[in-house]
Chain A
């Protein structure tokens, strides 16, 4: 009646490497003072036979889950980006470090994301619009969830593509119609998934990935946002 629900709460970011190390660090008592049995490797989960490979390190995620349930403070993360105006409506965001597992984390790389508007908006077309980046973020988060849940449920994923669309009325942002909303009126995601699973199991993967998606949550539920000037 209640089959195992995978919980990739942390879906959406690279799971190999640092997370495994960080979890081991926590479980060895660097951050927590919980005594650890050295013979017990909590990153191994006996109920998950891994005969398939979607490239997701589910053991690390499950280990993180257990570590964070023992040490809730380690689960408090802060994500950041810095954004610099270029010219016109072109800006460039950079992501580097983040805070989590009780300390500042260095991902050993930095990534940039350019946002602009197309020529139809009399803009320079140097990047996707922020709206498209938001849609991409949603699709990426859900896709990471699909892969993680599939891994945890022992389902080999062969292909997962999605098409995401958001409808908006430009009358909102242009101030033409005070009744029109600025943002999306409707967002649709259509997945095309090839996996070694039944249709019902694939539907369950997609439903579970929504249930545990951070970006799905921030799009479907209100969030307090404060904007200030330094």
Chain B
């Protein structure tokens, strides 16, 4: 039996940031990691992936970017190496190759069962990631059996797919990036798009990350929004690393065929929603409001001179009659790629902490049904940037503070 006050599950940016905070507070802890540090970045993403945020915004607590390319976008493997160096530099207590099998109640609070034994602890920090598994819709079961399909966890590079056309399902960052990569590999891509969040990569001479950060949107707290459940469900921004905008207009200019949300597969035909125009209108309107917000901010803060006026992006262009069907047995596409989002995997928590849909219930990362259990890295968990590398520091600080209050309460009692 091993005891630590706190057990952190997962050594990605969230787990490491929490470890940094606990180290600073002198709270003894361990980080349990099933693979190596930054395992998901190394193993569960596609080869070409680079961070969506510029290097200057990779601000881990006690580990800001100091390299030569502050406005560049790091490759995922380089970022993984930086996390490794971060853990080494701060001597964070990472135990690699330890797979957590379950978390139960234990003599001091909780017991974390692993493939190599168990840890008893007062606090558990679940930092296993918001993107632990690909989320694939149920209708995937209706695909013709002889049509190969891939998730974003299977897919590493275009050559993984058979030659020929490919249906990419998903209109957020992942779907758009992979549609572009596959189209450029010589495959005809049909991209199925539902509701999406369109943003320009740059506006008025600045990167979108600068705008979101500077105008305070990234710091917006979870108690400050009207409809938290809806905000937490909002899909990721349509973005790719680099200085160019990746949106449906850009993809169509490269030859990608855009179709509506995949609403059914019937008689070996994929059926697409006729609501594509409205989904694009919603995205364009939301984009307009975002840019209005930036313009208002610029006017209010007297930065008009530093921020040259820029054209608004043109509305999303679509064919007059986007296609509604695709015969999946015609050979037009020879594979399907599901870029339909990610989900958490908290199934190892053998505690009564889930809502009726099986989602972990928490209040800003504090799992109220199990005092001492915390979660990190979920969408809009404590603030908009909670899922961003730049957001884990502030969340870790808040949650670590809650932990110290718990500990001092325990001593006082």
- The chain A residues found within 8 Å of chain B, CB to CB, are 1-5, 47, 72, 185-186, 200, 203-204, 207-208, 210-211, 216-217, 219-222
Interface string of B226-239 (1 = CB under 8 A from A): 11001100100000
Closest to B230 in A: A5
25 interchain pairs, CB-CB under 8 A: A1-B286, A1-B289, A1-B293, A2-B225, A2-B286, A4-B226, A186-B321, A200-B288, A200-B289, A203-B281, A203-B285, A207-B282, A207-B285, A211-B278, A216-B275, A217-B275, A219-B274, A220-B275, A221-B264, A221-B271, A221-B274, A221-B275, A222-B263, A222-B266, A222-B271
CA of A185 to CA of B286, assembled, Å: 29
Asked whether, in the complex, the Cβ of A47 is within 8 Å of the Cβ of B226, the reply is yes
Bin the interface of chain B by size: 20 to 34
Q: Choose from B264, B275, B289, B321 the contact partner of A210 (Cβ within 8 Å).
A: B275
User: Counting CB contacts under 8 A, is B290 at the interface?
Assistant: yes
Residue of A nearest to B293 (CB): A1
**A3–B288 CA distance with the chains assembled, in angstroms:** 12
Closest residue of chain A to B279 (Cβ to Cβ) is: A211
Q: Are B289 and A3 in contact (CB under 8 A)?
A: yes
The number of inter-chain residue pairs (CB within 8 angstroms) is: 54
Residues in B whose Cβ lies below 8 Å from that of A203 = 281, 285
1/0 per residue, CB under 8 A from A, across B315-326: the answer is 000000100000
B217 in contact with A1 (CB, 8 Å): yes
Chain B residues closer than 8 Å to A2, beta-carbon distance: 225, 230-231, 234, 286
Chain A residue with Cβ nearest B320: A186
- Least CB distance from A124 to B in Å reads 33
B278 touches A207 (CB 8 A): yes
Min CB distance A207 to B, Å, is 5
Give min CB distance, B289 to chain A, whole Å.
Answer: 7
**CB-nearest residue of chain A to B269:** A222
Q: How far is the CA of A199 from the CA of B297 in the complex (A)?
A: 21
B226 contacts which chain A residues (CB < 8 A)? Answer: 4, 47
In the bound complex, how far is the Cα of B278 from the Cα of A200, in angstroms? 14
B387 at the interface (CB under 8 A from A): no
Taken together as a complex, chains A and B put the C-alpha atoms of A47 and B226 apart, in Å, by 8
B388 to chain A minimum Cβ distance, whole angstroms, is: 14
Query: What's the Cα separation between A173 and B282 when bound, in Å?
Result: 35
Cβ B234 vs Cβ A222 within 8 A: no
**Chain B hits for A216, CB < 8 A:** 275, 278
B residues 358-381 touching A (CB-CB < 8 Å): none
The answer to whether B290 touches A221 (Cβ under 8 A) is no
Chain B, residues 202-230, CB within 8 Å of chain A (1/0): the string is 00000000000000010000000111001
- Say yes or no: A220-B273 contact (C-beta < 8 A), given A2-B225, A4-B227: yes
How close is B94's CB to chain A, nearest CB, in angstroms? 36
In the assembled complex, the Cα of A216 lies from the Cα of B263 at a distance in Å of 14
- Expressed in whole angstroms, the minimum distance between the Cβ of A77 and any Cβ of chain B is 20
- Pick the contact of B274 from A3, A204, A208, A220 — CB < 8 Å? A220
Question: Considering the chains assembled together, what is the distance between the CA atoms of A47 and B224 in angstroms?
Answer: 12
B271 touches A211 (CB 8 A): no
Residues from chain B with a CB closer than 8 A to the CB of A208 are: 282
A2-B225, A2-B230, A211-B278 are known; give 13 further A-B pairs, CB within 8 A. Answer: A3-B289, A72-B356, A203-B281, A203-B285, A204-B285, A210-B275, A210-B278, A211-B282, A216-B275, A217-B275, A220-B273, A221-B261, A222-B266
Q: How far is the CA of A175 from the CA of B234 in the complex (A)?
A: 45
- Nearest neighbor of B384 in chain A, beta-carbon distance: A1
| Distance (whole angstroms) from the CB of A127 to the closest CB of chain B | 27
When chains A and B are docked, how far (Å) is the Cα of A2 from the Cα of B197?
10
Bound form: Cα–Cα A185–B288 in Å: 31
Given contacts A1-B286, A2-B234, A211-B278, contact A221 B273 (CB under 8 A): yes
A146 → chain B closest CB, angstroms:
13
Kindly provide the distance from the CB of A70 to the nearest chain B CB, expressed in whole angstroms. Answer: 10
Compute how far the CA of A207 lies from the CA of B321 in the bound complex, rounded to whole angstroms.
Answer: 19
Q: Which residues of A contact B288 (CB under 8 A)?
A: 200
Question: Nearest-CB distance from A155 to chain B (Å)?
Answer: 15
Asked if A222 and B264 sit within 8 Å, CB to CB, the answer is yes
Q: Return B281 CB to nearest CB of chain A, in Å.
A: 5
Nearest-Cβ distance from residue A185 to partner chain B, whole angstroms: 8
CB-CB under 8 A from B225, the residues of chain A are 2
Asked whether, in the complex, the Cβ of A207 is within 8 Å of the Cβ of B273, the reply is: no
Chain A residues whose CB sits within 8 angstroms of the CB of B231 once the complex forms: 2
| Chain A residues whose C-beta falls within 8 Å of the C-beta of B195 in the assembled complex | 211
A105 to B34, CA, bound (A): 55
Which residues of chain B in 255-285 are interfacial with respect to chain A, using CB atoms and an 8 Å cutoff? 260-261, 263-264, 266, 271, 273-275, 278, 281-282, 285
Chain B residues contacting A220 (CB-CB under 8 Å) are 260, 273-275
**Which residues of the other chain, A, contact B227 by a CB distance below 8 angstroms?**
4-5
Q: Which residues of B contact A204 (CB under 8 A)?
A: 285
Residue numbers in A under 8 Å from B278 (CB-CB): 207, 210-211, 216
